[in-house]
Amino acid sequence: MEATGQKKGFLGKQFFAVLLFHFFFGICLFTYIRQTREPESAPCSYPPSTLPGSLASPENTSSPEKKAPELTILLWTWPFGQSFPLTKCSTLFGIPDCHMTADRSWYHKADAVVMHHWDVYSGPSRLPREPRPPFQHWIWFNLESPSHSPNLGAMNGIFNMTMTYRKDSDIFSPYGSLELLRQPHNFTIPAKTKLVAWAVSNWNPGSRRVQYYTELKKYIHVDVYGRQHKPLSQEQLLPTLSQYKFYLAFENSLHEDYITEKLWKNALTSGTVPVVCGPPRQNYERFLPPDSFIHIDDFPSALELAQYLEQLDKDPVRYERYFQWRTWLSPSISPGWIFHYCNACQFLHRTKSYQTMRSLSTWFR
């Protein structure tokens, strides 16, 4: 009898377990059916990608309808006294706007004051005389090389932000750049009827570039344009240079990252191969493909450079290799002064951290 009782107890427990299983299974089934009959939930929304030229970031996408507060940027002076329309940055470059003004009555409210070196370097009297508000950025703006930036020592300990062509500036504002194309492009090399050209405005016989040219012209013909040579208007600059296979993109001084419109506009935009004289090749390769230019330092002498250019002139296949990079890249030059001020606007919207250069004369050299 005891064994029979144990068997009945065991069967009762089994029955209870099965009943419990069906009960939970029914609940799960009911929940599943109910969910499948309800409208689908909205798809997941991912924050927009942070791309060049876009201010979107994971930190500021939680409230897309909320606009970033407009910043005020005061131009303490017009650069070199050249005024220009303060067109909205959103219209020109598709970035959030700043209130741009050259009215100094905005000084106490301005989030940033941009001071162009050549317009303030003569001394403290050219700078704001009233104390700087604690929230305000004083931006030192300079596109000239250290060799052509006088009185740098007078600028020490004044500014808390920099905007120059130097890559390590707070606001990197280069003369030009390469843009990645969305799809490969068949670049057509402009028709070439001439060999080497050089357009030079400031002729200094003691400079390295003039001395190198003086040696180079002994071995190869160079057409020179400029104030003391063949006249060439701005309207005819690019059409004329495009006829040449090579252009001497010789900088007026040799400094880190100092790569100007001589390369970006005169050579690359015109569709010729630049022969560069400036910082070392490694510095150029921070901004350009290695096979997009010829560096004078690649050759022991001007004679050997001249011989190389003549070899390329007679070998179309080798010459055309200097244009292969254009399949995916396109040169772009800064479209005037407003570009740099909008660049500052974008930086101030995007970035909270910056570095303070206490000694500009030590850093900028």
Mark whether 166 and 190 lie in a shared domain.
Answer: no
Q: Last residue of a domain, which of 128, 147, 173?
A: 173
Please give the share of the chain, as a percent, with pLDDT higher than 90: 73
Q: pLDDT higher for 68 or 162?
A: 162
* Residue 122 placed within a domain: yes
Mark whether 310 and 204 lie in a shared domain.
Answer: yes
Residue 4 has pLDDT above 80, yes or no: no
Q: Which of 2, 40, 130, 144 is catalytic?
A: 144
Mark whether 184 and 328 lie in a shared domain.
Answer: yes
* Residue 64 placed within a domain: no
Residue 244's CB is within 10 A of a number of other CB atoms, namely 23
Q: Residue 144: what residue type? A: E
Per-residue pLDDT band at 57 (split at 50, 70, 90): very low
**Do residues 203 and 228 lie in contact, with contact meaning Cβ atoms separated by under 8 Å?**
yes
Mark whether 328 and 184 lie in a shared domain.
Answer: yes
Determine which of 3-12, 177-186, 195-204 has the lowest per-residue pLDDT on average.
3-12
Q: What residues make up the domain containing 134? A: 72-173
Q: What is the pLDDT of residue 67?
A: 58
Q: What is the pLDDT of residue 357?
A: 78
* Residue 123 placed within a domain: yes
Q: pLDDT higher for 296 or 23?
A: 296
Mark whether 151 and 198 lie in a shared domain.
Answer: no
Per-residue pLDDT band at 26 (split at 50, 70, 90): low
Q: What is the pLDDT of residue 68?
A: 59
Determine which of 82-96, 227-241, 258-272 has the lowest per-residue pLDDT on average.
82-96
* Residue 212 placed within a domain: yes
DSSP 8-class letter at 159 = -
Known catalytic residue: 144? yes
- Strand-pairing partners, residue 163, are 141, 171
* Residue 233 placed within a domain: yes
> Per-residue b/e over 58-75, b at no fewer than 16 CB within 10 Å?
eeeeeeeeeeeeebbbbb
* Residue 91 placed within a domain: yes
For the domain that residue 296 is a member of, what is the CATH number? 3.40.50.11660
SS3 165: coil
Range with the largest mean pLDDT of 12-16, 86-90, 175-179: 175-179
Please give the share of the chain, as a percent, with pLDDT higher than 70: 81
Q: pLDDT higher for 65 or 318?
A: 318
How far does CA 344 lie from the centroid of its chain? 12
* Residue 48 placed within a domain: no
Domains: count for the chain = 2
Mark whether 302 and 193 lie in a shared domain.
Answer: yes
- Kindly report the average pLDDT of the chain as a whole number: 85
Residue 97 has pLDDT above 70, yes or no: yes
Q: What is the pLDDT of residue 354?
A: 73
Mark whether 192 and 219 lie in a shared domain.
Answer: yes
Q: How far is CA 220 from CA 162, 191, 207, in A?
A: 42, 21, 20
**Do residues 116 and 80 lie in contact, with contact meaning Cβ atoms separated by under 8 Å?**
yes
Q: State pLDDT tens for residues 229-251.
A: 999 999 999 999 999 999 999 99
Q: What is the pLDDT of residue 124?
A: 80
Residue 35 has pLDDT above 70, yes or no: no
Give pTM, 2 decimals: 0.80
SS3 90: helix
* Residue 15 placed within a domain: no
Q: State pLDDT tens for residues 323-342.
A: 999 999 999 998 899 999 99
Q: What is the pLDDT of residue 83?
A: 95
Q: What is the pLDDT of residue 310?
A: 99
Mark whether 185 and 321 lie in a shared domain.
Answer: yes
**Do residues 236 and 197 lie in contact, with contact meaning Cβ atoms separated by under 8 Å?**
no
Residue 29 has pLDDT above 50, yes or no: no
Residue 138 has pLDDT above 80, yes or no: yes
Q: Whose structure tokens read 């001395």?
A: 211
Q: What is the pLDDT of residue 351?
A: 84
Calculate mean pLDDT across residues 63-71.
Answer: 58
Assigned token pair, 64:
């897309």
Q: What is the pLDDT of residue 222?
A: 98
